[in-house]
Amino acid sequence: MITVSNTTSRQRWTLWLNDEILEPAFVALTLIGIIAGLMLEGIGAPDTVILAVHLATYFFGGFYATRTIIESLRHWSIEVDLLMVLAALGAGYLGDFTEGAILLFLFSLSNVLQAYAMRRTRQAISALMELRPDTVTILRDGRELQVSVEEVQVGDVVALHPGDRVPLDGVIERGSGAFDESAITGESMPVLKTPGMTVLAGTLNQTGAIAMRVTKPAHESTLARIITMVSEAQARKARSQSFLEYFEQRYAIGVIVAVALFILAMPALTGAAFADVFYRGMVLLTVASPCALVISVPASLLSAIAAGARRGVLFKGGVHLEELSKVRVIAFDKTGTLTFGKPVVTDLVPEGDIDEQELLTVAARAEQPSEHPIARAILHAAEERGITIAPPDQFTAVTGMGVKAMWDGVETLVGSPRLFAEAGVIVPAGLLARADELIGQGRGSVLLVRRGKQWLGLVAVMDRERPDAAQRIAELRAAGIERIVMLTGDNPQVAEAMARRLGIDEVHAGLLPADKLRIVEQLRQRYGAVAMVGDGVNDAPALAAATVGIAMGAAGTDAALETADLVLMRDDLGAISYALRLSRRTQRVVWQNIAFALAVVVVLVSATLTIGVPLPLGVVGHEGSTIIVVLNGLRLLLFR
């Protein structure tokens, strides 16, 4: 039996023993010892020789189990391995060394098979680590130099040739090419990258000679953080797993005490021979061991986490995988999830004698320091018109309302009517009417622009909804989601029109981050488990308040990797339904394993107490059930 709890202790020993080589070798030697003992008994060899072979067989068969027991007892805990070793020692005490050796052989063989199977669930990490090359070609003084990846510093320029794996996160300075990002984001189609665009460590440059400037050191790259995240997720236990490990300790003690009482009481109560009762007690120690039960949960959870990681769906622990399966309500932030999150300027409505060029210039200068998508859209529109934008002397972003900026001693306000209401400025009725007209036409955001005491006009910005959003929402309903909610800071008219098109049940518009937090808490009170889908930055409070916070399209986004419980590396709504179905399939497999493991224990214990079960048959039933639940959990690696 292998348990998660003894992994750390085993790692200490691997400093001088390579378990992956020695443990299978010890299993083989145990089998050889069993065969040799039977042959020696068959030819009538001296008892001392036969006993020496049996003791050697016990040593090889029980070495790893005994080592685990010693480490556990040092920490005042009991592993189920103790039950197996006690049963084998009991068989030896009765002179049934061969049966005890068979027990140890099957038990240690089961350990080796489980260790091999569980290592497969960690191949996602190994595969990710292999994505980063050991050496990098950097450009210095016009020459290409080969250096180790750890020597590369932020700001160095890396040369990428066709077929090269990207070693570190960076930005393309020269050249363009198609990049295979499937290992990081799960995106199957190559992505064209041009100068100014971000490339991620672990992706593959398929075409083009490219010069890339490094933006993050090796230990901070997106790939490195994904590796860390998956490793930590596999170590972070779900509630069901933690309960079973808590249960294991007490159950093992209970079995030992119950068997001891059985051995002491049965001869007196029934007159049965002590040797027969003792033998049956050793069988009970074996078949009552909860090995299959304890391994049933981690085998499934680790497989599911690895399967998700290979497809760009990163769970930050088994507990979040477990919680997602309970979700019946999903709340979406609109921008960047249901829409592309890249709005564009659609209308410029100058006021009075102001022209469009001047209106856009003032709005862009006021927004220049902002990282908000609307600001980026305005700046992009100014860039397309060849307008050069200088930064303002002073800048203040007012969350959910707009910006205040100042240059040449004059204050400029750009934002929604709420911004001007907060500033005590009355907006002309005619300007408000034109803004309402644009909103009625479906414009996502209409910004009022005022410099000093002069109204300059309106700037309308609209985000585009994802063409597959309605289909993906329908898939979520098919997957069991009962209610879908939209949370947005946009105008209610725009939000409600989009909700009708996409089939969303409930809309909350005109929200600040604190409002989203409040509504998510209300949804939890009304419906129970709630998932929140956002970008991991502006939606951080709501993501934290939700049962499961989901950051979508988070490749290269530090805040998203840190904030959410579930990170979807690619910008694809379909990954949400995949994660949901994976979590529900995982819970079904977990409960299948638990039910099967309990049933096997009940049947074997009942048979041992009634008709009697030979020790080798009890071992086969016990270890067979353990291997079956592990293999059943490993099926999740193939989940699509």
374 vs 343: CA distance, rounded Å: 6
Pairing state of beta strands 157-160 and 210-214? antiparallel
333 labelled catalytic: yes
> What type of residue is 283?
V
596 vs 12: CA distance, rounded Å: 33
Q: How many CB atoms lie within 10 A of CB 284?
A: 23
Write the DSSP assignment of 269-296 as a string of letters.
Answer: HH---HHHHHHHHHHHHHHT--HHHHHH
Residues in CB range of 49: below 8 A, 6 or more apart: 40
| 11, two tokens | 């790692």
113 vs 105: CA distance, rounded Å: 12
DSSP state of 15: T
> What type of residue is 26?
F
Q: Tokens 């040449």 — which residue?
A: 408
Q: How many CB atoms lie within 10 A of CB 535?
A: 23
258 vs 168: CA distance, rounded Å: 59
Q: Contact at 8 Å (CB) between 516 and 541?
A: yes
Q: Contact at 8 Å (CB) between 511 and 307?
A: no
Query: Helix and strand tally (H, E) in the chain?
Result: 23, 22
Q: Tokens 């779900």 — which residue?
A: 238
Q: Three-class SS of residue 335? A: helix
CA distances from 115 to 214, 297, 342, 619 (A): 39, 15, 47, 18
CA-nearest of 159, 163, 136, 130 to 149 is 136
| 273, two tokens | 């021979």
Q: Contact at 8 Å (CB) between 280 and 297?
A: no
Write the DSSP assignment of 37-83 as a string of letters.
Answer: HHHHHHHT--HHHHHHHHHHHHHHHHHHHHHHHHHHHHTT---THHH
Write the DSSP assignment of 181-230 as a string of letters.
Answer: -HHHH---S-EEE-TT-EE-TT-EE-SS-EEEEE-S-GGGSHHHHHHHHH
CA distances from 75 to 91, 605, 640 (A): 28, 30, 41
Active-site residue among 81, 169, 180, 333?
333
What values do phi and psi take at 519, rounded to 5? -70, -40
Backbone φ/ψ region at 20: left (φ over 0), alpha (ψ -120 to 50), beta: alpha
Q: Contact at 8 Å (CB) between 550 and 565?
A: yes
CA-nearest of 507, 524, 580, 582 to 550 is 580
Which sequence positions are flagged as catalytic?
A: 333
